[in-house]
Amino acid sequence: MCGIIGAVAKDNIVPVLLEGLLRLEYRGYDSAGLVVANYGLQRLRTIGRVTELDKLIVKHKTNGLSGIAHTRWATHGAPSERNAHPHYSDYSGQDSKIAVVHNGIIENHEVIRKRLQELDFKFISDTDTEVIAHLIAFNLRQALNLFDAVCLSIAELQGAYAVAVMDETKPGYFVVARNGAPLLLGLGTNGNYAASDASALLQVTKNMVYLEEGDVAELDCDSYRIVNCLQGKTTETVQRTVHTSKLSSAAIDLGPYAHFMQKEIFEQPGAVANTLEMVLNVQSISPILFGNNAEKIFLQTRNILILACGTSYHAGLVARYWLETNAGVSCTVEIASEYRYRDPIADPETLVVAISQSGETADTLAALEYAKSLGHRYSLAICNVAESALIRQTDLRFLTRAGPEIGVASTKAFTTQLASLLLLSVTLAKIRHKLSSGHEDKIVAALRHLPTALQLALQIEPQIKIWAKKFASKHHALFLGRGLHYPIAMEGALKLKEISYIHAEAYAAGELKHGPLALVDSDMPVVAIAPNDLLLSKLKSNLQEVHARGGELYVLADADSCIPQSDGVHIIRLVEYAGLLSPIIHTIPLQLLAYHVALQKGTDVDKPRNLAKAVTVE
Ligand code: G6P
């Protein structure tokens, strides 16, 4: 959470900082701030969105040739101007301030704070960030330069973080450090930059250097230098590869859409086609898609353990059905934040699969580390960000190629994760000789058809809009599904609560009479996912139970599901039963429903209250 950007250039960098913050706002958006060097440090901070900061910039005519900026998702201390970044510390009286912006959490901030308070440092905010500022200032008092003071200070910090630091006495220069939270440098023709994410820097350069754990970098307008302090303080410069970002600015622009979530919902056919491109081109399924060693590792895999959070966890729950049914591999799916604090029994032959859109989610990363420490031998990442921490921590990897997902509510990441996991299940099936070549051809043909099937599913939007009007006045909703559509019901409920703030719960339809049926009345819309699969007759009985109690049913059926429309039973029919692909296709109407209900309610679709896209803290 939180977005950082820093810039030093030959021209005014304030527009760059502002544009960068807007790009990073998906990471957190409860307050924003910046500091620029212009005859001393000029700081502006405000509660609320980056647009509020923009108003302050206009009012104060803020400009400068170097600066650092921040958009915050509060962890330590409520969202307020006082807690907004940058934070200051003074190291030798007047005109010798430093300013710090920070992403992540300093776990040992209380111990350091106590020590610094004893040294007479005054804390103004409730943040852990202020500890960093004072710690660096303390080291500056020992006559170190800023770069060395940052190196020394971060050696004391525990936790996952990225920071950017400016010194009032050194305009045109700033220092950044990374440990556990993403940070990259942008090398431009007009200056040098740093940010949490490449999308913030595309406006000025495509040349990026991804910092590694323990890297500290100093930047001025013409040069940069990196050292790695992972093993303690050092002066030895390290070389990092300069990558040319392949991100196009179209991928991070809204284009003709009203919201990123809308854009990302409609991008799904293309995103899935990109993700499956290699399979569709070669028309056969091969373990190499998951990495060079995949065949060897898959042959040793007896079970699978999936670790993930949020929407990615739901993708894992669907995958369990596929892995068991298609490949005969037993699979458990764990919420990463729960797994990491249990005492699970590890098995070296259980492949750990970590699923994460961002590859940054703190709980997923920690759970993966924990699984490895317990003795799981091999791991696989399913991830959407090639440069993420997760990708570097597993033996095998499969990149979903959804493109940048900016809406906080995950959509295209989910369907591309599902496509990848389906592919994993059939790859394992093939390796275990559970897939005849005829069957393989059929699956490849089905995958080839998936983008078109998604396109067709998107065409039901006008009908969903009619449903959305009815939902907008409700306070609660139930989502029902059976089998591998139960996790899809969970994802539908999550989408609705995330962005429309309607309380929504998902149940396996068979569980209905064990409690939730008590809630059913005319005020409780019940959304049911009703594909024409083997469980349809069972589901129909569950729907009767709801109908008989005056519940209003909203049924997402297949064209061949044979459920008649009647009073209190609203039906939207998708295409005919899509077999293995069915859960992916049934996701689309649920995303559209959440989106249109949120529009009806006038909520902030892309930035729902209290949430952030990349949860880099526990
Ligand atoms: C946050 C996001 C969700 C996402 C979850 C896991 O809660 O708002 O959309 O599903 O984190 O994120 P990951 O990047 O690990 O998939």
pLDDT of res. 287: 93
Find the 361 Cα to ligand 1 centroid distance in Å.
Answer: 7
pLDDT of res. 484: 93
Six-digit token string for 365: 């990363």
List, for residues 268-288, the tens digit of each pLDDT value: 999 999 999 877 776 678 899
Task: Map out the domains of the chain with their CATH numbers.
Answer: 3-252 (3.60.20.10), 260-456 (3.40.50.10490), 461-601 (3.40.50.10490)
User: Is 311 near ligand 1, meaning CB less than 6 Å away?
Assistant: yes
**β-bridge partners, 225:** 218
Distance CA 147, CA 227 (A): 10
Ligand 1 site-directed mutation target among 29, 265, 410, most atoms within 8 Å of CB: 410
User: Is 31 near ligand 1, meaning CB less than 6 Å away?
Assistant: no
Burial of 70 (0-12, 13-18, 19+ CB in 10 A): buried
**β-bridge partners, 503:** 476
Is residue 2 part of the annotated active site? The answer reads yes
User: Is 358 near ligand 1, meaning CB less than 6 Å away?
Assistant: yes
How high is the mean pLDDT in each 10-residue block of the chain (618 residues)? 94 98 90 96 96 97 97 88 95 84 90 94 93 95 89 90 95 94 94 95 96 95 94 81 87 89 95 87 83 95 97 98 95 97 94 96 95 97 92 95 94 98 95 87 89 94 97 95 96 97 95 88 92 88 85 92 84 90 97 98 93 80
CA-CA-CA-CA dihedral for 575, 578, 582, 587, to nearest 10:
-30
Ligand 1 site-directed mutation target among 406, 615, 617, most atoms within 8 Å of CB: 615
DSSP state of 345: P
Protein residue with its CA nearest to atom 5 in ligand 1: 310
pLDDT of res. 516: 85
Find the 381 Cα to ligand 1 centroid distance in Å.
Answer: 15
pLDDT of res. 233: 65
DSSP state of 233: -
Burial of 61 (0-12, 13-18, 19+ CB in 10 A): exposed
List, for residues 89-112, the tens digit of each pLDDT value: 988 776 789 999 999 888 899 999
Ligand 1 site-directed mutation target among 25, 353, 358, 490, most atoms within 8 Å of CB: 358
Q: Hey, what amino acid is at 14?
A: V
User: Is 412 near ligand 1, meaning CB less than 6 Å away?
Assistant: no
Is residue 442 part of the annotated active site? The answer reads no
User: Is 417 near ligand 1, meaning CB less than 6 Å away?
Assistant: no
pLDDT of res. 550: 85
For 67, the 3-state DSSP assignment is strand
Catalytic option among 2, 151, 331, 383: 2
pLDDT of res. 91: 81
**Cβ proximity of 225 and 218 under 8 Å:** yes
N-to-C CA span, the chain:
10
Please tell me the total number of residues recorded for the chain in this structure. Answer: 618
Q: Which helix (H) or strand (E) holds 96?
A: none
Protein residue with its CA nearest to atom 8 in ligand 1: 613
Q: How far is CA 215 from CA 26, 163, 183, 237, in A?
A: 25, 11, 10, 10
Q: Which parts of 96-143 fold into alpha helices (H)? A: 109-118, 129-141
Six-digit token string for 217: 């970098």
User: Is 361 near ligand 1, meaning CB less than 6 Å away?
Assistant: yes
For 368, the 3-state DSSP assignment is helix
pTM of the model: 0.88
pLDDT of res. 566: 80
